[in-house]
Amino acid sequence: MKSKDRIIIFDTTLRDGEQSPGASLNINEKLEIAAALARLRVDVIEAGFPVSSPEQFESVRLIAGKIKGVVITGLARVMQKDIDQAALALKKAGRPRIHVFVGTSPIHMKYQLRMTENEVFSRAVWAVKYCRRFTDDVEFSPMDATRSKRDFLFRVVEGAIKAGANVVNIPDTVGYTTPDEFAALISDIKANIPGAARAVISVHCHNDLGLAVANSLAAVKAGAGQIECSVNGIGERAGNTSLEEVVMAVKTRKDFFGKTVGVKTEEIYRTSRLVSALTGIPVQPNKAIVGANAFAHESGIHQDGVLKKSSTFEIMSPRTIGLKSGRIVLGKHSGRHAFMKKLRELGCAVRGAEFEKAFTSFKNLADKKKEVFDEDVEALIEEHVKESPQAFRLEYIQVTTGNNTVPTATVRIKTKGATVQEASCGDGPVDAAYKAIDRITKISAGLVDYSLKAVTRGKDALGEVSVKIADRKGRIMSGRGISTDIIEASALAYLNALNRLASRR
C-alpha cells in the first residue's frame, strides 16, 4: 500500500499516448518503451486495450510477461469479451490490474451508448464484480466524468467501490474542466461518497484547453492519489497530462503540494527522447522540462546570472532529469560574460582589444544567425583575431546573377585610407566578384584552388571558403573566408589571400 503522501504515477503512453494520430507503435517498440518506463519507476503501466486488435492483445501479453516490478494494466469496456481478453493478456503479469470504463455523461449515454442511467449503473457494477474474478486490483473510470450529472456520477462511483474497485479514476475526457472546478469535484467525491476512503481517487486529464497539468495538480491538492499521464503529454487530440511536468512540479514544489513521487527523475530526458524517436512525434523546443530550450539561456542577463549562480534562472537542476548541465546559447542577445566563457571552453586565450574585436565580430554574426555554434566561434577567432595585417578590407559587395542573367558584381574595398569601388562581369557570381577585386587591388595573381563547405549546422550555417592563389613568381598563398553568405565568404577568402601576399611582399 502506498503512503498517503505518495502520488501514484499511472503511465498511459502505450495506450492513450499511442492513440495520437500517426503514433502507431509495433510490438517491439512498445516493449522497449515499457522497459524504459520501468527504469523510470512509474507505478503503473497501461499497456494497451487488449480486445481492440490481435496486435494490442499480443503487446499487452508480452509486456505483462517481461516487465516486472510495476503494475501492468489493460483497458476494457464494461463488456465480458473485453474483460476476458484483458484478463488473458495480463495472465503472466506479476501485478495485474484491469481498468474498466463506461461513459456517464448525458451526451455519451444518449448518443454513444444508447443506454439509460440505470443500465449504465448496472453494467458498471457488474463489470467491476466480474473483473474481481481475475484480480484484486480493479480500476473503474466513469468516462466524461466532468460533464456528467453530479448525483449520477456519485451514484456510479459509490456502486463501483462497493462492487470492489480499489481505484476510481475521474476522467476529464474532453479537456473541458478548469482547475477550480476539478478540485471541487474531487473534494466533493471524497466528502460525499460513502466508502470513498477505501479507494484511491485517480485523475485522467486531457489537454484540449491546455489545462491538463493544471487540472491534475489541482486534483492532487484536493486529495487525488493517482495521476494518469503520458511521456511528452502525447495522446488523443491535444494530448494528455504530461508525465514529466506533473512529476517535476510535485518534486520541485514539495513545499506547496506536500507530496512525493517514486519516479526516478534522472531517467526523464532519456525516456522522453526514446518516445519521441519511436512515435515520430517531435518535442517542441519550448516544451517544459524536456524541450531543447527548457534549460537553455540566450539573454545576456540570464546568462550572466546562471553563470554566477544557476538558481538565479533555473528552478531545478538539469541533472535531476538526466542532463549533464544547462545550455548557454550564443545568439544576438548574448553578452560578454557568456562569450568569454565560451572562449575559455574552446581554449582561446583572447584578452583586451583582441577580445573586443572578437566580440564585435560575434555580435555581427549573431545578427545573421539564430544560433552561433562552437565552430562559428572558432572560425571567428581564426578569421578576425589571428588575421594578418590587412591592406585591403571588404566594405560592400553586391552580385546580380541568374540562369538568364550575366553575373555582375559590385565591390567596395577600403585600401590605404581610401575607398575604391569597381564592378565587373564574370562566368559566375564568384568569378565576377574576383575580377572586380582584381581591378581594385591591381595584384596579378591566379586562382589555383577554391573549395566551399558548411562550417556549422542548419539552413543558416556558416559557409567556409578556402582559396589558394599564385603570383607571377609562383608564390602560393592561401586564404579563408567565413560568412552565412557564400559570395561574401568567397570575397573574404580571396582578399585574405591577397592581404597575405601583399604582406609578404
Residue 288, in any domain of the structure: no
Lowest mean pLDDT among 127-136, 213-222, 401-410, 467-476: 467-476
The grid coordinates listed for 499 are: 592581404
Query: Does 403 show up as a binding residue in the annotation?
Result: no
Residue 55 and residue 184 in one domain: yes
d(CA 498, CA 505): 11
Query: Is residue 118 over pLDDT 70?
Result: yes
Question: 221: domain CATH number?
Answer: 3.20.20.70
Residue 214 and residue 312 in one domain: no
Which of 385, 413, 430 is the C-terminal boundary of a domain? 385
- Which of 266-270, 358-362, 383-387 is most confident? 266-270
Query: Does 206 show up as a binding residue in the annotation?
Result: yes
Start-to-end Cα distance in the chain: 86
* Residue 200: closest CA among 182, 224, 219, 170: 224
pLDDT of residue 213: 98
Which of 320, 352, 385 is the C-terminal boundary of a domain? 385
d(CA 401, CA 117): 75
Which of 279, 307, 327 is the C-terminal boundary of a domain? 279
The residue whose grid cell reads 455519451 is: 108
Residue 16, in any domain of the structure: yes
Q: Look up the domain containing 34 and give its range.
A: 6-279
Residue 105 and residue 13 in one domain: yes
What average pLDDT does the segment 212-228 reach?
97
Lowest mean pLDDT among 81-90, 212-221, 384-393: 384-393
Q: What are phi and psi of 60, to 5 degrees?
A: -65, -40
Residue 321 and residue 265 in one domain: no
Q: Which residue type sits at 303?
A: Q
The residue whose grid cell reads 522540462 is: 289
Residue 230 and residue 163 in one domain: yes
Query: Is residue 102 over pLDDT 50?
Result: yes
Residue 76, in any domain of the structure: yes
d(CA 194, CA 136): 20
Residue 404 and residue 356 in one domain: no
Higher pLDDT, 296 or 16: 16
Residue 491 banded pLDDT, cuts 50, 70, 90: very high
Residue 50, in any domain of the structure: yes
Residue 285, in any domain of the structure: no
Residue 324 banded pLDDT, cuts 50, 70, 90: confident
Residue 291, in any domain of the structure: no
What average pLDDT does the segment 44-70 reach?
96
DSSP 130-197: HHTTT-S-EEEEEETGGGS-HHHHHHHHHHHHHHT-SEEEEEETTS---HHHHHHHHHHHHHHSTTGG
Higher pLDDT, 449 or 155: 155
Query: Does 204 show up as a binding residue in the annotation?
Result: yes
Residue 305 and residue 352 in one domain: yes
Q: What is the pTM of this model?
A: 0.73
pLDDT of residue 355: 77
The mean of the pLDDT values for the chain is 88
pLDDT of residue 1: 42
Residue 176 and residue 234 in one domain: yes
Question: 442: domain CATH number?
Answer: 3.30.160.270
Across the beta sheet with 405-415, the strand order is 393-402, 405-415, 418-425
The residue whose grid cell reads 555580435 is: 363
Beta strands in 338-444 (DSSP E): 393-402, 405-415, 418-425
What average pLDDT does the segment 184-199 reach?
93
Residue 435 and residue 463 in one domain: yes
Residue 178 and residue 194 in one domain: yes
Higher pLDDT, 298 or 81: 81
3-state secondary structure of 495: helix
User: What residues contact residue 189 under an 8 Å CB cut-off, 6+ apart?
Assistant: 153, 154, 157, 168, 170, 196, 201
Structural domain total, the chain: 3
Residue 292, in any domain of the structure: no
Contact between residue 81 and residue 51 where contact means Cβ atoms under 8 Å apart? yes
Residue 300 banded pLDDT, cuts 50, 70, 90: low
Report helix angle 117-131 to 150-163, nearest 10.
20
pLDDT of residue 476: 78
Residue 115 and residue 240 in one domain: yes
Query: Is residue 153 over pLDDT 60?
Result: yes
Query: Does 496 show up as a binding residue in the annotation?
Result: no
Residue 480 and residue 499 in one domain: yes
Q: Which residue type sits at 388?
A: S
Residue 284, in any domain of the structure: no
